[in-house]
Structure 1
Amino acid sequence: MKINYFLLFLLAPIALLASGGEGSGETDIFPRAVNFLIFASILYYYVSGTLKEWYIGRKNEIATKLDSIQVKLKESNSRKEIALAKVEEAKVNAKNLVETAKKEALLLAEKISQETDAEVENLEKAFQDRISIERRKMQRMIISEVLDEIFKEDSIALDNNEIVKIINKKVA
Structure 2
Amino acid sequence: MKALLLFLPLLAFGAKDGVPDYDIVARTINFVIFAGILYYFIANPIKNAYKGRIEAIEKRMTQSRNKILEAQRKEEEARTKAEKMKVQAAEFIENGKVEAKLLKEKIERDTESAIRILNESFAEQKEFARRDSVRKTVASVLDNAFSDKDIAVSEQALVDIIKKKVS
Flag whether TM exceeds 0.5 (same fold).
yes
Residue in 2 that maps onto 1:65: 60
Q: CA deviation at 1:129?
A: 0.5
Matches within 5 A, 1:8-157: 21-24=15-18, 34=28, 38=32, 42=36, 45-46=39-40, 47-154=42-149, 155-157=151-153
In the alignment, is the contact (CA less than 8 A) between 2:138 and 2:162 conserved in 1? yes
- The secondary structure found in structure 2 opposite 1:111 is helix
Q: How many residues align?
A: 157
Q: CA deviation at 1:51?
A: 2.6
Deviates more, 1:40-49 or 1:130-139: 40-49
2 CA distance for matches of 1:131 and 1:19?
144
Unaligned runs of 5+ in 1: 1-7
The one-letter code matched in structure 1 to 2:16 is: E
Unaligned runs of 5+ in 2: none
Q: Runs ≥4 in structure 1, deviation > 4 angstroms?
A: 18-21, 25-28, 30-37
The one-letter code matched in structure 1 to 2:115 is: V
TM-score by length of 2: 0.71
Deviations 1:118-156 (A, max 9, x none): 111111111111111111111122222222333334543
Deviates more, 1:102-111 or 1:136-145: 102-111
The one-letter code matched in structure 2 to 1:156 is: A
Q: CA deviation at 1:43?
A: 5.9
The one-letter code matched in structure 1 to 2:152 is: I
TM-score by length of 1: 0.69
Deviations 1:3-51 (A, max 9, x none): xxxxx9xx9xxx79x95552249899x7699569736853674244443
| Greater RCO structure (CA 8 Å; 6+ sep) | 1
Deviates more, 1:99-108 or 1:80-89: 99-108
